[in-house]
Structure 1
Amino acid sequence: MSRRPAGRTAAHPVDGGAGPAPHILYVHLHAPTGSVPHEDVYEMLLDLLRGITPVVQALPPDAALVDVRSALRYFDRDAAGLADLIRVRALALHGVDSTIGVGPNPLLARMAAADGPACAVRVLSGAGPAVEEFLRNKPAAALDGIGPASAKILAGYGLDTVGRIAATPLGTLQRALGATAGRRLYDRARGIDPTPVVRGAPARSIGGERRFGQDELDPVRHRRALLSLTEELGARLRTERQAARSLTLTVRYADRSTTTRTRTLHESSGHSAVLRTTAYQLYDALGLQRARVRTLSLRADGLLAEELTARQLSLEPGDDKSRLIEAAADRARARFGPAAVRPAGTAHRAPRRA
């Protein structure tokens, strides 16, 4: 009986049943400070992964998907063995530990990585019974693409676990979430995810930064910078017809230390008002007391195509009005340039982006 390498666990025992062999790795990196890895370190780690296989899809700021099918014979290892190799090399060369999920598709690899403590390799079999058992008691929100709004809708139908969703007719799911989202959920609850790992895929995040001319104590100026950033990010998302699943705020202080916080949006959005509210919540939660802030950075993460999002209907008439105004402002910017329309709150010139 072979020994399991240190740090490797099984999301579910791998059996010999039918099903695709695990060959997708979801690599989640952990910086020693507990925050996300620095951009330079992240790029070096991506280079490390590309040294194993060219089929690497970056998921900034701290993860990547890797398809290792073409590397199995060259390294004479299975996918789990390559995951062990990646983890050891990342730790030895860059001082960064990682959690790696190994599965037959991106969905199951991600879920395997999340199925336990950090800093380990976890393997999920591609066999049908193993996948069914692994998914059965997972909460609905564990499925990629199910945010708080969708989870609340599903809970209203009593569908609070993946097993219950899998047992639900397709038509019921489509009535609850819409035709496209319902079909996607129906498949994912059964462990089906045909999404390929795309080499050189577009970035899954966009960001901006405001650097103050001097270390800034004034919270009004901090919020003004966040207002400017969210307007900029929102306009970029809408221009590219994308929506963000979460927002990450990084505050760099006068002593060069940083604080990073991330919050998942209530629903995926490119609406500037949603981004602004979330950014203010992240900032307020830090409770900065006379902090000397040098830089504020904001990043929209988990980008997906706008047409794949499901907008929850609002009974607030002001919501539709604000979106109409936003659309008109976008048209003005497209015609006359990005500075044609700016929020009144940024009338006092915000710090320039570095």
Structure 2
Amino acid sequence: MIMMSGRRILRLSFDLPPDADAELPERLRRLLEDFTPRAQLLEDGALVDLTGATRWWQRDARGITELVQLRALAYFGVRSSAGVAGTPMLAAMACALTPLGRRTVIDDSPEAISAFLRPRPVRELPGVGGKTAALLGEYGLHTVGDVADVPQQTLQRLLGARAGRALHEHARGHDTTVVDPTPAPASLSTEHRFPRDELDPAEHRRALLALADDLGARLRASGQIATGVTCTIRYADLSATRRSRTLPEATQHTVLLARAAYAVYDSLGLQRARVRSIALRADVLRPADRAARQLTLDAGDDKPLVIEAVADRARARYGRQVLYPAALAISSRPPSARQWDRGDRPDDARGRRVT
């Protein structure tokens, strides 16, 4: 049974320019807060609760969304796609299907929600990755409607109690997520864009190492440690997969960040995927003096960290190009990167040249 929520949630996806000002995300936040205080910035856009704003602005959710998009373009030159629905999940799904400069609005009625949701591929539901979609497909559950018609107990036997219950709720359009205007914990991000859609897993892993090396150097320079990493992979069809992993212990060391990044990448099970870009984010940063390190009897674990400290001193004196991981020396092609900090705000676009 599909229920109406009474809410009107706007999901925006921003197309930020590569050379965007570091203050642009904060300016976009202030623009959204001109309409409602319930605005939450995300990694690639924003989530806005318009429920209480429609009466004040004497416009429906579509009208407010058009005004938000127009002001973002006029004031800051930022184009966006938008989805409006009764829940954040439905708004995000609608936004993902909407071209830049356009908007998709799902009326808050059972008929409209069902018409949008039921034909969608099951992999578009949150929490459904490639392996879960393949497992459901083996039982003939290819669309959201297929899943919605299956008893919750059946899904729980297939996926486990928690995952089955969540999938059962999502397939019926239920989502109790709220818009949280509290700023997200500080983070650092960097992105590698391939010059062409890349099929080679070795190149994917090489890019991950370069990203981990960049994040590690920036964390150490700023005296911070990360408690987790998030890897975002964008494909040739403009879809994306995002996976996060909590680190066994908070760290700022390249070798440990790279291990975590490799583990996230391997968990995706990509086979011959045409990858357009890979982004790596260090999550929930804390001061480095709060780091605790697990003792080990293996002296070999300390060797990379000693080398890293020497490399940092050499780089500080002679520049970033003087030392780098050997795996990055197999090609002279310069990777291009976009980097963000403090809640994924774009700050610069530094290319890293490997000689």
TM-score range, shorter chain: 0.5 to 0.7
Q: In the alignment, which residue of structure 2 is the partner of 1:136?
A: 118
Pairs within 5 Å for 1:59-70: 59-60=42-43, 62-70=44-52
Match in the other structure for 1:270: 246
**What secondary structure sits across from 1:90 in the alignment?**
helix
For the residue of structure 1 that corresponds to 2:52, the secondary structure is helix
Amino acid at match of 2:156: Q
2:25 aligns with 42
The aligned residue for residue 207 of structure 1 is 188
Aligned to 1:254: none
Specify the alignment match of 1:311 in structure 2: none
Q: Is contact 1:243–1:268 with CA below 8 Å preserved after alignment? A: yes
Cα distance, 1:202–1:222 mapped onto 2, change above 3 Å: closer
Tell me what 1:349 maps to.
Answer: 311
CA root-mean-square deviation: 4.4
TM-score, normalised to structure 2, is: 0.62
Question: Cα 1:88–1:169, aligned 2, differ >3 Å: closer, same or farther?
Answer: same
Residue aligning to 2:325: none
Query: Secondary structure in 2 aligned to 1:27?
Result: strand
Please say if 1:30 is aligned against 2:15.
yes
Matched, 1:57 2:43: no
| Equivalent residue number for residue 318 of structure 1 | none
Alpha-carbon spacing, 1:245–1:164, altered in 2? closer, same or farther (3 Å):
farther
Residue 227 of structure 2 corresponds to residue 244 of structure 1? no
Q: Distance in 2 between matches of 1:262 and 1:160?
A: 18
Q: Structure 1 CA distance, aligned partners of 2:108 and 2:139?
A: 29
TM-score after normalising by structure 1? 0.62
Residues 1:170 and 1:275: Cα distance change in structure 2 (over 3 Å): same
Distance 1:286-1:64 versus aligned 2 partners, 3 A rule = closer
Give the secondary structure class of the aligned counterpart of 2:23. Answer: helix
Where do residues 127-276 of structure 1 align in structure 2 (5 Å cutoff)?
127-203=109-185, 206-208=187-189, 225-228=210-213, 239=227, 244=230, 246=232, 264=241, 268-270=244-246, 272=257, 273-276=259-262
Judged with a 3 Å threshold, the aligned counterparts in structure 2 of structure 1 residues 247 and 114 are, in CA distance, closer, same or farther, namely: closer
Question: Secondary structure, in 3 states, of the residue corresponding to 1:349?
Answer: helix
Write the deviation string for residues 180-205 of structure 1: whole angstroms up to 9, x where unpaired: 121111101011101111121534x8
Instruction: Note closer, same or farther for the CA distance 1:127–1:143 as it changes in structure 2 (3 Å cut).
Output: same
Deviations 1:108-153 (A, max 9, x none): 1111212342321210011112111211111111112222232233
Deviation at 1:67, TM superposition (A): 0.7
Which amino acid in 2 is paired with 1:264? T
Q: Which residue of 2 aligns with 1:307?
A: none
AA in 1 matched with 2:241: T
Residues 117 and 348 (structure 1), Cα distance of their counterparts in 2 relative to 1, 3 Å cut: same
Equivalent position of 1:13 in the other structure: none
Counting aligned pairs with the same residue, the percent is 33
Q: Are 2:4 and 1:19 aligned?
A: yes
**Aligned pair in 2 of structure 1 residues 163, 152: CA closer, same or farther (>3 Å)?**
same
* Cα distance in 2 for residues equivalent to 1:138 and 1:222: 33
Cα deviations by residue, 1:80-113 (Å, 9 ceiling, x for unpaired): 1110110111111111111111111101111121
How far apart are 1:332 and its partner, in Å? 2.3
Unaligned runs of 5+ in 2: 192-202, 248-256, 285-290, 296-300, 321-340, 342-355
Conservation of the 8 A alpha-carbon contact between 1:22 and 1:102: no
SS of alignment partner, residue 137 of structure 2: helix
Give unmatched runs, 5+ long, in structure 1. 1-16, 211-218, 249-260, 288-295, 304-328, 334-338
Structure 1 CA distance for aligned equivalents of residues 33 and 233 of structure 2: 28
Q: Is the 8 A contact 1:247 1:299 kept in 2?
A: no
The 8 Å contact of residues 82 and 98 in structure 2, kept in 1 or not, is answered as: no
Question: Given the superposition, is the C-alpha separation of residues 140 and 297 from structure 1 closer, same or farther in structure 2, using an over 3 Å criterion?
Answer: closer
State the aligned residue count.
269
1:227/1:98 CA distance change after superposition, 3 Å = closer
CA contact (8 A) 1:25 1:106 kept: yes
Give distance in 1, aligned partners of 2:275 and 2:122: 27
Q: Distance in 2 between matches of 1:30 and 1:224?
A: 26
Alignment partner, residue 9 of structure 1: none
The offset of 1:79, in angstroms, is: 1.2
The residue that corresponds to 1:121 in the other structure is 103
Q: Is the 8 A contact 2:208 2:261 kept in 1?
A: no
Structure 2 counterpart SS, 1:52: coil
